[in-house]
Amino acid sequence: MPLVSTDRITSPARAASLGVGAFNVVQIEHAQAIVAGAERAGLPVVLQISENTARYHGGLAPIGLASLALARGSAVPVSVHLDHAESEDLVHEAVRLGFTSVMFDASKSPYEENLAATRKVVAYCHEAGVWVEAELGEVGGKDGAHAPGVRTDPEEARAFVQATGVDALAVAVGSSHAMLTRDAVLDLGLIASLRTAVDVPLVLHGSSGVGDEDLARAVAAGMTKVNISTHLNKIFTAEVRARLTAAPEVADPRTYLGPARDAVAAEVARLLGVLAGR
């Protein structure tokens, strides 16, 4: 399958009340695992690269171009998405490289500033045919980003989507970034209200902290795009740690990164099934 727009994945899923897995790439093994898992499940997937990951690699191009190449060679639809970009310059670079969607995050700014900055990014991206996700009601967790009780207001969400023209909206409904346990409590009633209020896909960030049953409930309530990162990183790291503990003399990284990649692929396939209601 060719590289596809994120809209080609999320719009049919939203219409069918199904969830779409969006998994974060940290290094090439993650991208390979995510594509392999999607192929195993026979389901589309979103490869995400965050601004932090671009910084880790010394720029967006190295990991971005590798992810784009894997997407183009996949047997299932794959989109490549820039996640949590706070820099407009990075958004522009992603568009130039061929990313099919971006998430512009001005959620730390006051509402009017968020709206103005997001509208500007949307205009730029839409001219290039690139799908745009934004965030309203900052999703917490990383760096103490917000107090636990913050939630996205449905009427404010409706006004924000109409004013900016965004293609998807990440909302605060009880999840939190970088959680190491899967016990977040989601506000399912709020998700349903947001689904009614806006006519674009809703995005659940911080989904690593949400258990399987609640992921399924969130999708049934109205979530479409479900972002998962820390959960897969835990699996990857645990497998590396186990391999190195068992054979501390090992020097070839392929002997421990390969099994870690396989473990993540298996979990991606399983999670995609959960989100698709299988």
Q: What is the pLDDT of residue 36?
A: 98
Among 83, 167, 187, 214, the one annotated catalytic: 83
Q: Are 91 and 85 in contact (CB under 8 A)?
A: yes
Q: What is the pLDDT of residue 184?
A: 60
Distance CA 96, CA 129 (A): 11
CA 45 to chain CA mean position, Å: 10
Q: What is the pLDDT of residue 100?
A: 97
Q: What is the pLDDT of residue 147?
A: 42
The correct answer on CATH 3.20.20.70 for the domain covering 6-275 is yes
DSSP letters, the chain, are --B--HHHHHHHHHHTT--EEEEE-SSHHHHHHHHHHHHHHT--EEEEEEHHHHHHTTSHHHHHHHHHHHHHT-SS-EEEEEEEE--HHHHHHHHHHT-SEEEE--TTS-HHHHHHHHHHHHHHHHHTT-EEEEEES--B-GGG-S-TT----HHHHHHHHHHH--SEEEE-SS-BTT-SSS-----HHHHHHHHHH-SS-EEE--GGGS-HHHHHHHHHHTEEEEEE-HHHHHHHHHHHHHHHHH-TT---THHHHHHHHHHHHHHHHHHHHHHTT-
Q: What is the pLDDT of residue 164?
A: 95
Q: What is the pLDDT of residue 168?
A: 97
Q: What is the pLDDT of residue 145?
A: 33
7 assigned to active site: no
Q: What is the pLDDT of residue 210?
A: 77
Q: What is the pLDDT of residue 174?
A: 66
Q: What is the pLDDT of residue 142?
A: 40
Tens-digit pLDDT profile for the chain (278 aa)?
689 999 999 999 999 999 999 999 999 999 999 999 999 999 999 999 999 999 999 999 999 999 999 999 999 999 999 998 999 999 999 999 999 999 998 878 888 888 899 999 999 999 999 999 998 755 444 433 334 566 888 998 999 999 999 999 998 886 555 455 555 667 788 999 999 999 999 999 877 667 788 889 999 999 999 999 989 999 999 999 999 999 999 999 999 999 999 999 999 999 999 999 87
Distance CA 274, CA 21 (A): 10
Q: What is the pLDDT of residue 179?
A: 52
Q: What is the pLDDT of residue 139?
A: 47
Q: What is the pLDDT of residue 187?
A: 79
Terminal C-alpha separation, the chain: 22
Work out whether strand 45-50 and strand 20-24 pair parallel, antiparallel, or are unpaired.
parallel
CA distance readout (Å), 142 to 21, 59, 117: 21, 21, 22
Q: Are 77 and 4 in contact (CB under 8 A)?
A: yes
Q: Residue ranges of the domains in the chain?
A: 6-275
Q: Are 134 and 118 in contact (CB under 8 A)?
A: yes
